[in-house]
Amino acid sequence: MFEKLYNWTISLSESRHATWALAGVAFAESSFFPLPPDLILLPMSLAKPQKAWFYAAVCTVASVLGGAAGYAIGALLYDTLGQWIINLYGYASKIDALRAFYAQWGWAFILVKGMTPIPFKLVTIVSGLLAYNFALFMALSLVTRGARFFLLAAAMNTFGDFFRHFLEKHFGAFMAGLLAIVVFGFYMAARMA
């Protein structure tokens, strides 16, 4: 079963629409979608390691643009969509404490959270809600998201053959690990509330 899923994932990553799908997922993950773009970035980089840097750039730009959409949700749509998302993650009762923390440490929050499995949409929406400096938010998002995706591209360029062989033999374990990371990210986001 996992061999078929692996082969399907690799073939999907080689399709002519894969780059657009990668950009769409990266954009959506930074504003409302729960799954990270790494799910598409990794197999695409394995299928075409020579394009890993290009894919990382696509992911970075789309993620930062999605971050701007998340910022807008927090700044303009908090009373509807933004509040629903904040309540979903359990942050509603902590807004005042978060506002004080953000005033002093917002830059560190953005940089650190952009690299972790904690959903980046929380960072983007909270940044908009708390009216964090938009230009600084965009610059910090570019740095942290770029670092995350370009580190993955570097790993694929350096260890791509190892990862490919590993995935061919242990794709089920990889998918379970990736799912565990996503669940852990949501768990950590809920615990921080």
Q: Which two tokens stand for residue 173?
A: 């374990």
| pLDDT value for 147 | 94
- Provide the 3-class DSSP secondary structure of residue 36: coil
| pLDDT value for 53 | 93
Assess contact for 126 and 89: CB atoms under 8 A: no
| pLDDT value for 173 | 75
Domain ranges of the chain: 2-10+45-192
| pLDDT value for 34 | 73
- CA distance between the termini of the chain: 38
| pLDDT value for 10 | 65
Read off the pLDDT of residues 5-15 as tens digits, 9 standing for 90 and up.
556 666 766 77
What's the half-sphere exposure (Cβ side, CA atoms, 13 Å) at 129?
Answer: 26
DSSP 82: I
Quote the CA–CA distance of 135 and 112 in Å, as a whole number.
18
Q: Which residues of the chain have pLDDT under 50?
A: 1-2
| pLDDT value for 62 | 96
